[in-house]
Amino acid sequence: MKSYYCSFLFYTVLLFLNSSHAQEQRLQLLGNLNNPHGVSGGTTYFSSCWGWVSPDGREYALLGTCNGTSIIDLNSDSLKEIQFIPGAFASYCLREMKTYKHYAYIITEGGEGTQIVDLSRLPDTAILVKNFIYRDSANPTTKHTTYAHTVTISDGYLYLNGCRGWKPAGGTVIFSLRNDPTNPEFLSAFSDNYFHDTYVRNDTMYASSISTGRLGGLYIIDLADKISPSGIGKISYDGSGTHNSWVSLNGNYVFTADEIGTTQHNMKVWDINNFPEYQYVTSWHGDPTSIVHNVHGRGNYVYVAHYTGGMGVVDIQDPTTPFTAAWFDSYPGASGGYAGSWGVYPYFPSGRWIGSDMQTGLYLFSFDSLKPRERVQLLMPENNSVTAPLIFWWRSAASQTHDPHLYDLYVSSDAVDTVITTKDTSFTFISFPKLYDGQPFDWFVIVRDEFTEVSSTDTFHFTHINPLGISNNEEQTAGFQLKQNYPNPFNPITKILFTLLTISEVSLKIYNSLGEEVLTILDKEMLSAGNQEVYFNASGLPSGAYYYRLTTPQFTETKQMTLLK
């Protein structure tokens, strides 16, 4: 018999894996909050959950209830509801939400459209900006977004799914949030079929048609032109009742959950490497008598809401053989039916994740294999520095292999405001004339993934030397020069050359791509004016990008080099 777990109970659950996997992994329960706002059907109190991370890294949970949305602070020892956004009563407490920038977008089928909530003042307050309803001017009674079943946000675009007020079938209605997040701009609708849920990555939509029969399955749609989306193909299978989906990191596999239909209500794995050709690979379930409701992936794991089976983590490092990595039974009743775990959210940078249970509320976990990210630390140009080469460099937030993410480099002044997106931890401006005017500049970095954005710990300021004319700053540094190492790339020895204007105290240090110092070649040594050369032997280091930094009392410069073995 399942045991009942009370609110605010803290303990550790240790689970043994499939016998073919000897390594033991742990799921730790960090907290539970069971604070209902209304009830539906006599037993249902909660629905979906999602997360939001403020620019300073503070983490919050959003939890759907029957009468509104609970906002829960995850940054203290106990879970605490700090705000509640009232909303229309939702049958079965069906309420779902997603976030973009500092806004939450909340939908129900209660007839109030999409609630847009400003989260920027948390933890003090959250403000309901408006209830957004779009009506087609030519067909206002047959094409409107008063109701939606689910909501998707990706890359600044809002997708309202299952809009039963949008005829003929209420597929998905697409809006842009990029110009003004509080006033979504209508782009198009793809509504020939009913889409229960969608997952969007880059310019591809994976749309789950929960209908049975020939209309059911997973539709894959090209969104390169969001004003005119077009179908690519469809995964069809007997008895389908496709509820939602997620796609592997390499895009070769898609994972689907079936809520209805005659097919088994499990998680199915499909090979879509050669789509529109596809192949069924395998399936997974933790409890064959319970329905797999929602699946969301991060890295090499899928996080599953399994209705009465509870919530947990599935290892998909080999998608052809998924297995249970860790599990928690949140539901106190018997297996089977539409009760228990509704949703999961595994995208917090701290490495924690949350799950919601329709009867027992919100749960906060850590999982051994979900490693926290570091907040980005800026390295170069240093704060309040004067610099000539425009090389920007910062510390890595996490492993790109196990936790893919992007960096947005922001550089701004009175005349410049630019953003560069990269996966690397450095960026070099080859040509940017507006940065060559001797003005002071600010720069910082935001690390982001599909659903979160967190800024660097600081914003640095620098002044750039004008290379086309001598400025006061250049007069101070003229005659000092750090040259490119030779050879470059190298293996394993390279020569580093530099020029000193006067006798100077010199430091020369080597750093890896994470910003970690790996070797000091010169440590405040007094050297005479003129041309200097030193040799760097990297025989004990792995291949990769490295940086060498020359520092004198008058001059600091850094350059990149590549070790190839």
Residue 23 belongs to some domain of the structure: no
Q: How confident is the model at residue 214 (pLDDT cuts 50, 70, 90)?
A: low
Distance spanning both ends of the chain, measured CA to CA:
59
Whole-number pLDDT of residue 530: 81
Examine the domain organization and report whether 445 and 498 are in the same domain.
Answer: no
Higher pLDDT, 278 or 434: 278
Examine the domain organization and report whether 431 and 459 are in the same domain.
Answer: yes
In this prediction, residues 312-321 reach a mean pLDDT of: 96
272 and 248 Cβ atoms separated by less than 8 Å: no
The token pair at 169 is: 């079938």
Examine the domain organization and report whether 516 and 549 are in the same domain.
Answer: yes
Residue 215 belongs to some domain of the structure: no
Distance, in Å, from the CA atom of 235 to the CA atom of 228, rounded to the nearest integer, reads 22
pLDDT at 1 over 60: no
Examine the domain organization and report whether 460 and 424 are in the same domain.
Answer: yes
pLDDT at 431 over 60: no
Examine the domain organization and report whether 490 and 564 are in the same domain.
Answer: yes
Segment 96-138, tens digit of pLDDT: 999 999 999 999 998 999 999 999 999 999 999 999 999 999 9
Residue 76 belongs to some domain of the structure: yes
3-class secondary structure per residue, 405-433: CEEEEEEECCCCEEEEEECCCEEECCCCH
Examine the domain organization and report whether 454 and 487 are in the same domain.
Answer: no
Whole-number pLDDT of residue 437: 58
Whole-number pLDDT of residue 555: 76
Find the CATH number of the domain harbouring 435.
2.60.40.10
Q: Measuring CA to CA, how many Å separate 400 from each of 199, 333, 397?
A: 22, 41, 9
- Of 449, 476, 503, which marks where a domain is finished? 476
Please give the biggest Cα pair distance in the chain.
85
In this prediction, residues 543-559 reach a mean pLDDT of: 84
Residue 563 belongs to some domain of the structure: yes
Answer left, alpha or beta for residue 330, where phi above 0 means left and psi between -120 and 50 means alpha: alpha
Higher pLDDT, 522 or 302: 302
Chain center to CA of 544 = 26
Considering its fold, how many domains does the chain have in total?
Answer: 3
Residue 537 belongs to some domain of the structure: yes
Examine the domain organization and report whether 397 and 467 are in the same domain.
Answer: yes
411 and 418 Cβ atoms separated by less than 8 Å: yes
Whole-number pLDDT of residue 213: 65
Examine the domain organization and report whether 558 and 472 are in the same domain.
Answer: no
Examine the domain organization and report whether 464 and 516 are in the same domain.
Answer: no
Residue 521 belongs to some domain of the structure: yes
Segment 249-281, tens digit of pLDDT: 889 999 999 998 888 999 999 999 999 999 999
Examine the domain organization and report whether 458 and 514 are in the same domain.
Answer: no
- Of 476, 508, 525, which marks where a domain is finished? 476
- DSSP-derived 3-state class of residue 204: strand
Average pLDDT, the chain: 88
Range name among 302-306, 314-318, 528-532 with the lowest pLDDT average: 528-532
Residue 415 belongs to some domain of the structure: yes
φ, ψ dihedrals at 367, nearest 5°: -135, 130
Whole-number pLDDT of residue 430: 58
Segment 463-522, tens digit of pLDDT: 876 544 333 344 444 557 888 999 988 899 899 998 888 788 889 999 887 778 899 998
Find the CATH number of the domain harbouring 487.
2.60.40.1930
Pairs from 481-485 (Cβ < 8 Å, separation ≥ 24): 482/548, 482/550, 482/557, 482/558, 482/559, 484/559, 484/561, 485/536, 485/548, 485/559, 485/561
Whole-number pLDDT of residue 525: 83
In this prediction, residues 298-304 reach a mean pLDDT of: 94
Whole-number pLDDT of residue 388: 64
Domain range for 428: 373-476
DSSP string, 33-54: E---S--BTTTB-EEEEEEEE-
* Nearest alpha carbon to residue 392 among 433, 434, 435: 435
Sign of the alpha-carbon torsion through 134, 137, 143, 146: positive
Whole-number pLDDT of residue 472: 38
Examine the domain organization and report whether 444 and 389 are in the same domain.
Answer: yes
Examine the domain organization and report whether 500 and 527 are in the same domain.
Answer: yes
Residue 226 belongs to some domain of the structure: no
Segment 23-76, tens digit of pLDDT: 345 899 999 999 999 999 999 999 999 999 999 999 999 999 999 999 999 999
- Of 428, 457, 476, which marks where a domain is finished? 476
